[in-house]
């Protein structure tokens, strides 16, 4: 081996990801995703951990579940006035937490189950309920000091903070929640600050992103997305990816695989070798959505109300592994993180770099 010696040391490669989906909507405890991400403990440094969960609020599934983070009592007072002015609130409560010796300086977390007030929404021409919620989230994050919307989708929620992910899971008592989609993140920040709002996942409506890597195109991506009214307030590059997916898929109605082709486009040399119809399509995607293209090393999981998408950059500078057993599909940064919670797998594989692994509820793996 040319004088090289294997030392047994692990190549961390920064950050850890984990995802679980049951395609038949069988809900499982948060203890499973905690075990999967905890196995990747050394991929983080204790400066961020978080989880997204889908199906956790079946009794309020038709309402937007706003998870709010407050860093002062005044922020809570001002924000609640804003929420009650713009939304009909059917329930609001403190998000339960468990005292932890390793979690300090935690903000206050509340949740609100809401619908937009029609008389308020009617004042804005041709705005959908989803667009109204996005606009209100942006206003809170940008205009109200010390208040941040952690998640805003229906029948889902994000739980995150500063700490190792297993400690965040214990803090938010995630074993008491059951969901049919879970994603998790273990953070090793390299170019942004560590704070509670900067932990992953980043979410808007039911879209939530966990990400390993660095978005070197952040500046152009940010300027592009802000042209459509999105406001970036959480001080990290990953936030912009969530909004790009919301724009391309929900607003502009791109199919999932074409939205991924916009953010992780094939190289021009590969487009040139495609059949005529595909070459024309992917050339158009690259030209129209050039400012949405993500540069830099990355692997990410995009979870949403209908499934999970896994994607790595075109030359796979960050790891991503997938596995399947029966109705469960798993994705993670490491094979061991999947085998920790699912032995005797039906199959395990490495998704093709730059190509989406798309898993949908009621359908299973639809693209890989």
pLDDT digits (tens, 9 = 90+) for 176-185: 999 999 999 9
Q: What is the pLDDT of residue 13?
A: 56
In the predicted structure, residue 191 carries a pLDDT above the cut 80: no
Tell whether 11 is covered by a domain: no
Number of domains in the chain: 1
Q: What is the mean pLDDT of residues 316-345?
A: 95
Tell whether 308 is covered by a domain: yes
Please state, in angstroms and rounded to a whole number, the distance separating the CA atoms of residues 260 and 304.
Answer: 14
Q: What is the mean pLDDT of residues 5-24?
A: 74
> Please, which pLDDT band fits residue 272 given cuts at 50, 70 and 90?
very high
Cis status, amide bond into 201, omega within 30 of 0: yes
Tell whether 4 is covered by a domain: no
| 25 vs 3, residue with greater confidence | 25
Tell whether 291 is covered by a domain: yes
In the predicted structure, residue 54 carries a pLDDT above the cut 50: yes
Please state, in angstroms and rounded to a whole number, the distance separating the CA atoms of residues 81 and 298.
Answer: 39
In the predicted structure, residue 285 carries a pLDDT above the cut 80: yes
Measure CA 338 to chain center: 19
Q: What is the pLDDT of residue 228?
A: 94
Q: What is the mean pLDDT of residues 281-301?
A: 93
How crowded is residue 350: how many other Cβ atoms within 10 Å of its Cβ? 13
Q: What is the mean pLDDT of residues 54-70?
A: 98
- Cβ atoms 134, 127 nearer than 8 A: no
Q: What is the pLDDT of residue 26?
A: 98
The lowest-confidence range among 24-38, 53-67, 206-220 is 206-220
Output the CA torsion sign for 250, 299, 301, 208: negative
Q: What is the mean pLDDT of residues 289-299?
A: 92
Q: What is the pLDDT of residue 367?
A: 86
CATH of the domain at 148: 3.60.20.10
| 148 beta partners | 69
Q: What is the mean pLDDT of residues 7-14?
A: 53
Largest Cα–Cα separation, the chain: 74
What percentage of the chain carries pLDDT values higher than 70?
A: 96
Tell whether 284 is covered by a domain: yes
- What HEC string does the chain produce? CCCCCCCCCCCCCCCEEEEEEECCCCCEEHHHHHHHHHCCHHHCCCCCEEEEEECCCHHHCCCEEEEEEECCHHHHHHHHHHHHHHEEEEEEEECCCCCCCCCCCCCEEEEEEEEECHHHHCCCCCCCHHHHHHHHHHHHHHHCCCEEEEECCECEEEEEECCCHHHHHHHCCHHHCEECEEEEEECCCCCCCCCHHHCCCEEECCEEEEEEECCCCHHHHHHHHHCCCCCCCCCCCHHHHHHHHHHHHHHCCCCHHHHHHHHCCCCHHHHCCCCHHHHHHHHHHHHHCHHHCCCCCEEEEEEECCEEEEEECCCCCCCCEEEEECCEEEEECCHHHHHCCCCCCCEEECCCCCCCEEEECCCEEEEC
Joined tokens for residue 70:
């407050």
Tell whether 8 is covered by a domain: no
Q: Which residue has the tokens 């199919």?
A: 255
Please state, in angstroms and rounded to a whole number, the distance separating the CA atoms of residues 189 and 274.
Answer: 38
Joined tokens for residue 224:
């592009």
| 209 vs 235, residue with greater confidence | 209
> Residues with catalytic annotation?
15
In the predicted structure, residue 3 carries a pLDDT above the cut 70: no
Tell whether 10 is covered by a domain: no
> In this predicted model, what pLDDT tens digit does every residue of 239-258 receive, in sequence order?
899 999 999 999 999 999 89
Output the CA torsion sign for 94, 96, 100, 104: negative
Q: What is the pLDDT of residue 236?
A: 81
Q: Can you give the pTM of this predicted structure?
A: 0.93
β-strand 364-367 against 357-360: which pairing, if any?
A: antiparallel
- For helices 238-245 and 218-226, give the axis angle rounded to 10 degrees: 40
Tell whether 3 is covered by a domain: no
Q: Which of 22-26, 46-50, 99-103, 229-233 has the highest mean pLDDT?
A: 22-26
C-alpha dihedral, 358 to 359 to 361 to 366, nearest 10°: 70
Q: What is the pLDDT of residue 5?
A: 42
Q: What is the mean pLDDT of residues 114-131?
A: 95
- For helices 276-288 and 256-263, give the axis angle rounded to 10 degrees: 60
Q: What is the pLDDT of residue 9?
A: 52
Question: CB-based burial of residue 178 (10 Å sphere; 0-12 exposed, 13-18 middle, 19+ buried)?
Answer: middle
The range of the structural domain enclosing residue 242 comes to: 16-367
Q: Which of 158-172, 236-250, 266-280 has the highest mean pLDDT?
A: 158-172
Q: What is the mean pLDDT of residues 226-233?
A: 91
């Amino acid at each position: 081996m040319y004088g090289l010696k294997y030392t047994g040391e692990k190549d961390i490669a920064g950050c850890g990801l984990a995802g679980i989906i049951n395609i038949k909507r069988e809900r499982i405890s948060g203890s499973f995703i905690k075990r999967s991400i905890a196995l990747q403990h050394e991929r983080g440094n204790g400066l961020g951990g978080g989880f997204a969960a889908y199906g956790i609020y079946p009794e309020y599934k038709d309402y937007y579940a706003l998870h709010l983070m407050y860093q002062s009592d005044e922020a809570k007072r001002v924000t609640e006035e804003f929420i009650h002015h713009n939304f009909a609130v059917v329930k609001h409560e403190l998000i339960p937490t468990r005292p932890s010796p390793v979690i300090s300086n935690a903000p206050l977390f509340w949740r609100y189950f809401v619908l937009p007030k029609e008389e308020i929404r009617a004042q804005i021409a041709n705005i959908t309920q989803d667009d109204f919620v996005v606009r209100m989230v942006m206003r809170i994050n940008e205009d109200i000091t010390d208040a941040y919307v952690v998640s805003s989708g229906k029948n889902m929620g994000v739980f995150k903070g500063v700490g190792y992910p297993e400690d965040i899971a214990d803090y938010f008592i995630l074993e008491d929640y059951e969901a049919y989609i879970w994603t998790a993140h273990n953070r090793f920040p390299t170019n942004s600050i560590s704070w509670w709002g900067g932990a992953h996942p980043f979410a808007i409506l039911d879209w939530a992103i966990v990400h390993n890597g660095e978005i070197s195109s952040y500046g152009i991506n940010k300027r592009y997305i802000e042209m459509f009214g999105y406001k970036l307030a959480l001080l990290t590059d990953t936030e912009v990816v969530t909004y790009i997916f919301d724009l391309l898929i929900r607003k502009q109605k791109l199919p999932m695989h074409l939205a991924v082709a916009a953010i992780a486009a094939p190289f021009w040399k590969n487009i040139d070798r495609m059949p005529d119809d595909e070459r024309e399509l992917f050339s158009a995607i690259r030209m129209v959505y050039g400012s949405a293209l993500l540069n830099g090393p990355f692997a990410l999981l995009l979870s949403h109300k209908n499934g999970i998408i896994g994607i790595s950059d075109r030359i796979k500078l960050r790891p991503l592994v997938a596995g399947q057993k029966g109705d469960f599909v798993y994705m993670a940064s490491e094979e061991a993180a999947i085998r920790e919670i699912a032995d005797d797998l039906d199959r395990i594989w490495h998704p093709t770099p730059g190509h989406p692994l798309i898993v949908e509820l009621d359908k299973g793996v639809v693209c890989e």
